[in-house]
Amino acid sequence: MSFKSTPFWLTALIGSALATPLYAADSTLTLPSGASVGVEVVEEHHFIEAQPRLNNMLLHPIQTESATHELPEYCVLVANAQVSNERIRITTQDATCIETHDAESTIFSGSFKASAYAEDSQYGLPCSGGTCTLAPGDAFVLTLDESISITAQDNPSAEINAMRRQANGEGVANPIPAERPEPSEGTTPSTSTD
């Protein structure tokens, strides 16, 4: 399994499609084996006879009627694709998802084994002729080959935000100080002469 750096994923997640985050509860993202999710490619890809295989293709969620589940709103999946017997066979390896709650966010990154199925429930997407194209907006369904359970990663930005709230007097660790008179408002110190 290969992982990209967090900045890479955060950049790729900005363009993710809208979806309702339903299955990231507490600190674990879980989906059962056989669950299906709708996805699309992030950018257009062309497959030709001379180059029928593509590695590290990026996908992100999109709503489809035939999907049984939905991924969090911001999610990127890494997949490989190969044209075989007039079908584009797509398999995923990894997923990185960010689920947001108000000002907080939770990051999930881990193994995500799934395969693409067309609307006719056949493995692979139909592809006839010499050139096949996958483009954003061409939704298809990924079906999980095995159940997933991805634990949330440490989120440094959440820790920084918590420290900022405490510094602004919003946290119990930093109560707002009581009002005290300015030094000039109190009694003036007496001066003694010898």
Output the DSSP codes for 115-144: EEE-TTS-BBEE--SSEEEE-TT--EEEEE
Sheet strands (E) in the chain: 24-25, 28-31, 36-41, 45-48, 53-61, 74-84, 87-101, 104-117, 125-126, 131-134, 140-144, 148-151
At 52, is the pLDDT very low, low, confident or very high (cuts 50, 70, 90)?
confident
Grouping H, G, I as helix, E, B as strand and the rest as coil, residue 24 is strand
Structure letter (DSSP) for residue 3: -
Range of the domain at 70: 6-167
At 23, is the pLDDT very low, low, confident or very high (cuts 50, 70, 90)?
very low
pLDDT single digits (tens) 58-105: 999 998 888 999 998 799 999 999 998 889 999 999 999 988 877 778
Backbone angles phi, psi at 130, to 5 degrees: -75, -25
pLDDT single digits (tens) 157-177: 667 777 777 776 655 554 555
User: Is 128 a domain residue?
Assistant: yes
User: Is 172 a domain residue?
Assistant: no
**Nearest residue to 140 via CA among 180, 87, 93:** 87
From residue 58, alpha-carbon distances to 65, 76, 96 in Å are 22, 6, 11
Give the pairing of strands 53-61 and 74-84: antiparallel
User: Is 187 a domain residue?
Assistant: no
User: Is 79 a domain residue?
Assistant: yes
User: Is 47 a domain residue?
Assistant: yes
User: Is 179 a domain residue?
Assistant: no
At 115, is the pLDDT very low, low, confident or very high (cuts 50, 70, 90)?
very high
CA 158 to chain centre: 16
User: Is 184 a domain residue?
Assistant: no
> CA 159, CA 6: separation in Å to the nearest integer?
16
> CA 41, CA 45: separation in Å to the nearest integer?
8
User: Is 80 a domain residue?
Assistant: yes
Number of domains composing the chain:
1
